[in-house]
Structure 1
Amino acid sequence: MPQDQWPITSNRIKIMKASDLRRALLLLLLLCGVLMVYFFSQQTSRLTIPHLSGIESSIDSAALKTDVRWSWLCTKNHCEKIPLATGTPMQSLSTCNMLCGDSPQIWPIPSGPSKIGTEALAFRVNQLQLETTVKESALAYLEQSFAAFNDNVVSYMKKRDSALTQIRSDIDSFLVKISVVQANIIRLRMNTDESYNLTVNLYGKNLLASINAYTVFGARHGLETLSQLIWWDELDTSGTLRIVTNAIVHDKPLLPYRGIMLDTSRNFISIPAIKKVINGMAANKLNVFHWHVSDSQSFPLEIPSVPQMHLYGAYQTDMVYTAQEVAELVEYSRLKGVRIVIEIDIPAHAGNGWTWGPQEGLGELAVCVNAQPWFMYCGEPPCGQLNPENQQVYEVLERIYRDIIKMTGEDELFHIGGDEVNLDCWEQHLLKNLTSTNYTDLHNLWGEFTLKILHKLERANGGRKPPYTIAWSSNLNMGASDWSETRELISDGYKVILSHVNAWYLDCGFGRWRERGEAACDPYRPWQTVYLHQPWAYDPLYKSHTVGAEACLWSEQLDELSLDARLWPRAAAFAERVWSDPKINPDTYGIAEDVYTRLSVHRDRMMSRDLGVEALWPRWCTQNPGMCL
């Protein structure tokens, strides 16, 4: 029994008369009824989360030690490190960074006008309260978003004391008030309004943070920004969180599709590791997780109506994504403001996992599977392409598509693959079957295959074509291996999602993993290259036809042990480019000092949230802003 509850003793029950007991019960029921009427009559929902992870523990023995040798002084819009001498005001680097300079320490930087105050106050995490007028599904979304916001704030605390009331606070209350215009929208679509306005104001000793948004997704972004206006002051021995006393932020994204593509077929990556990717995306306001789940190497996804796919295609039995796990991951991501688009790459990049056709009486579903010498049939080993002449292939694909749509609930965006089709593979297969003379150009066969699978996709989607059907650019649709050729696609009327290999492929630059062929898209793309890539700046057609962009991470030389460091902070640099697209100086084509400072601050923020972020530079540069550029 909890220690704060009083037991009802049997002695007191025995001495009560029956009539007294009935009257007591009647009064209790009446009181309950009055309370229920009162609560239901209220149109405002308040949520307080007093018990947060780690708070109830005693003082963390591993807390960072306070370094009192230095102080930082805001000079000419950046923080200058000075020795701490008698009479020198003591200010931590974190507090100095948050209050110094013209740019707010928010990542991605807001797209609209923003003004952040230069004063801060201390507060206790258990003072946070949510107030909102939204109801039902939207209320549940906001409550869970607020809980995630609380967890993020708690993660900043280097020391956690169970005696919360003894920690210093400059205020009596910290209210987060959220209003949403279109509360009925709880799933992301391409036209979903993700904008928000955030204000922070101090009224006497009461702090009010107001977030106004059209949808819960904009409100979630507002909470993320609010969490970035909070920091831990490492020089305050009382264990203090701080926040600016006033702020105004107007913000909305540049592109509706802001994605990360992750390949989990070359090397299996567990669901917990993928959830960390989603967490990082939420911290950077990215909203599409493009899941390249299968390739010629493996097919690790459970398809309930075609169980042979993962039974034949998974590396081992514990390296499978079950349909239930996918559905749970979709919901987890939705609450983080991220939608999941699953890609089954076809007709190429389809080998292992497709070999069960003859045993089931369906014939060869794939050809050139594991063929040698591999370089004659595909771009990298092992090879494999679907058999375009086998009608059973299209029936299997319809079942796969139907299950994916059911698992993800995603009927607006659908990726059909289309990457690196090798016509030599098909030609060898057709020659063997004496049908090669039916085609003067095998591109026609590829085109027929694509039309057939689009018909099957429509059937799988309840007779409706997904509004956005996505395919990799290729020589079937004018070819775009180099990003400058994308204009040809735009001129032909295609809407484009940009994922240019020379800037936004994050797997490049780690050397060869095989002897034959290039096997690596050298060189390494540092975060500065990712950040400076701004293709729509040079051609007005890009602005009207670009619906999104994504950074890609292929996994030939990657598993979850190195996943975080390959993504972050480079994917964060990408996120700012596609969210607010800050101006770049055309004369120097360089990156301003405040970007380095903001990204360094954001790296610390992400690391506190358990993301393994690659170092930007020597720590000396962090402690001496502006002196390493």
Structure 2
Amino acid sequence: MLAMMGRIGIQKIFLGILLIDVLVIRSVAADNAKDLKIWPLPVSVSYGHDRLYLGNDLELTTDGRMYSDASGILKDGFFRLLHILNGDHVIEANTFHFINSSLVIEGIHVVIASSGNELQHGVDESYKLSVPMQGNPSFAYIEAKTVYGALHALETFSQICYFNFSTRVIEVHQVPWTIFDKPRFSYRGLLIDTSRHFLPIRMIKKVIDSMTYAKLNVLHWHIVDTESFPLEIPSYPKLWNGTYSSSERYTMAEAAEIVRYAQRRGIHILAEIDVPGHAKSWGVGYPSLWPSINCTQPLDVSSNFTFEVIDGILSDISKVFKYKFVHLGGDEVNTSCWTSTPHISNWLEKKGLNESEAYQYFVLEAQRMASSYGYDIINWEETFVNFGSKLSRKTVIHHWLRGGVVQQATAAGFQCIVSNQESWYLDNLGTTWQEFYANEPLMNITKPKQQALVMGGEVCMWGERVDGSDIEQTIWPRAAAAAERLWTSYDNLAKNSTEVTERLAHFRCLLNQRGVAAAPLTGRGRAAPVEPGSCYKQ
């Protein structure tokens, strides 16, 4: 069996000319793309009409002069590839007797130009993948600047492999292949919400695995909110009192495990601690954080203790969440609790602040604290709409609500992330995958300087009506439609979503085969199959 018998051979192979430089690379034309089953679509592809066969003992070989894989990230990625390729199929040992040995791929040779494996924002994710027709022994070849580009190449390789039920072996069709690929945007995100419903760690890891199949690279973890506070904060342990139950919690060690698990798959974890609104759960353990017992959010702006707690949270999470950014929310702040609570109203008067200025004071103070721990800050768009020019210049504006905000924010020099709710909110079951695919982050932004400030986009899986029982089919396949929009070069994107229906249906079935409960393309949201039939027709 391929998954069990594959062996890792780390050795040096010196090639006079890498075969991936021999074939002509061209952009994917519309008539060319219809024959491909790769999702998301690469930048450029050359392919043929022959086939090769994967050997039972597929090897990973590397040129270790630059990248030694001391951390084992590449090796682990290769083992995951073997597991995916084998799936639940039985690769029979005696099936290779009829195959010419020159047609058997013996291994994958990987050359990585960078010696490091630190996952930084904007890390080079490009790669070249070649599967030549001739070779003795026959190998597939990957070139990448970083190990994370190589992981993307392994995923692409997995999508050009098929189990043949007649030959009982795994085949690579359309050989020879030459693929050059890189992402269009550096930020390609998916939000999950563990406050409205708790998600077990095993489910979060499944979501992370599924993200790698579509080449998404940021898991935005909306950890806490009004409803619950499931994350352990060692500096203020009573915050944990705001959980739904004693078993619906994450220790800091478990959070660190999620970060580690994601990093080894090329995925950043963006932690969100939403302040000053959406914070009722904080006061379950520390009631003095509430303006009053009858008016529980936003957090008490007049109390030094409020900011001590925020500082403690940021100090604790900075030891675990190493992504460049932290999300501080700042959205949907109703300041009426401040003006209706006497001690806060008196504080406002003493400070000479109105409620809008107090809101600004709170957001800027939280930003200052986060910056002191080395973070750049992401805030929801309300902070820019209300007092944009006062924000830290390192602030990234997260668009979700109003039209025109991205154009205005980039014109003011701020970076942006696009998550407009009418097109990229997964909890809106009425939004079809076609609408997800058509949503363009650079809509109405024509100046190159402003376009460069759009980091990318994110689909949002808010948790009011999802938990471990239905999250996967609510995310997929619609998130995949957005993933291609964020990865694939604009010129290669289909101008009409009907052009990609067959390819996305194939990817959806691939997700099912890999154990991801992706819903059918037909219908809306997480619709069930309407009648018996092939997976590829649903």
TM-score, normalised to structure 2, is 0.84
Say which of 159, 166, 172 aligns to 1:243.
Answer: 172
Distance 1:44 1:302, change over 3 A: farther
| Structure-2 residue corresponding to 1:308 | 238
Deviation at 1:188? 2.0
Distance 2:82 2:400 in 1: 44
Say which of 484, 491, 496 aligns to 2:411.
Answer: 491
SS at match of 2:466: coil
| Structure-2 residue corresponding to 1:229 | 160
SS at match of 1:332: helix
Deviation at 1:538? 2.7
* Structure 1 position 148 matched with structure 2 position 54: no
| Structure-1 residue corresponding to 2:225 | 295
2:417 partner amino acid: I
Deviation at 1:202? 2.6
Answer whether contact 1:294 1:344 (CA < 8 A) is retained. yes
Deviation at 1:575? 0.5
Deviation at 1:295? 0.1
Distance 2:53 2:128 in 1: 23
| Structure-1 residue corresponding to 2:357 | 444
| Correspondence list, 1:403-552, <5 A | 403-410=316-323, 412-430=324-342, 434-438=346-350, 439=352, 441-459=354-372, 461=373, 464=374, 466=375, 468-474=376-382, 475-477=385-387, 481-509=401-429, 524-541=430-447, 542-552=450-460
* Structure 1 position 108 matched with structure 2 position 40: yes
SS at match of 2:431: coil
| Structure-2 residue corresponding to 1:5 | none
Deviates more, 1:475-484 or 1:301-310: 475-484
Distance 1:428 1:527, change over 3 A: same
SS at match of 1:419: coil
2:151 partner amino acid: R
Distance 1:440 1:204, change over 3 A: closer
Deviation at 1:246? 1.2
1:591 partner amino acid: S
Deviates more, 1:496-505 or 1:113-122: 113-122
SS at match of 1:447: helix
| Structure-1 residue corresponding to 2:150 | 219
Which of the pair has more CA radius of gyration? 1
1:177 partner amino acid: H
Say which of 87, 100, 118 aligns to 2:49.
Answer: 118
Deviation at 1:131? 3.4
| Structure-2 residue corresponding to 1:398 | 311
Deviation at 1:431? 6.7
Deviation at 1:540? 1.7
Answer whether contact 1:531 1:574 (CA < 8 A) is retained. yes
2:455 partner amino acid: V
Say which of 545, 554, 557 aligns to 2:462.
Answer: 554
Deviation at 1:534? 0.8
Say which of 125, 135, 141 aligns to 1:194.
Answer: 125
Deviation at 1:136? 4.2
* Structure 1 position 591 matched with structure 2 position 521: no
CA deviation map 1:99-127 (0-9, x unaligned): x965421110012x211222223334433
Distance 1:506 1:223 in 2: 28
Distance 1:135 1:538 in 2: 42
1:546 partner amino acid: V
SS at match of 1:506: coil
| Correspondence list, 1:20-31, <5 A | none
Identity, in percent, stands at 29
Distance 2:344 2:71 in 1: 62
Answer whether contact 2:148 2:266 (CA < 8 A) is retained. yes
SS at match of 1:290: strand
Deviation at 1:331? 1.1
Alignment gaps of 5+ in structure 2: 1-8, 15-29, 389-398, 523-529
| Correspondence list, 1:570-585, <5 A | 570-583=478-491
Alignment gaps of 5+ in structure 1: 1-38, 46-76, 79-99, 359-363, 372-382, 510-523
Deviation at 1:414? 1.3
Deviation at 1:365? 1.2
Deviation at 1:581? 4.3
Distance 1:130 1:585, change over 3 A: closer
CA deviation map 1:399-434 (0-9, x unaligned): 111111111223x11111111111212221257753
1:366 partner amino acid: W
Deviation at 1:436? 4.4
1:448 partner amino acid: Y
Deviation at 1:264? 0.8
Answer whether contact 1:314 1:353 (CA < 8 A) is retained. no
Distance 1:242 1:137, change over 3 A: closer
TM-score, normalised to structure 1, is 0.72
Distance 1:624 1:300, change over 3 A: closer
Answer whether contact 2:275 2:363 (CA < 8 A) is retained. no
| Structure-2 residue corresponding to 1:616 | 521
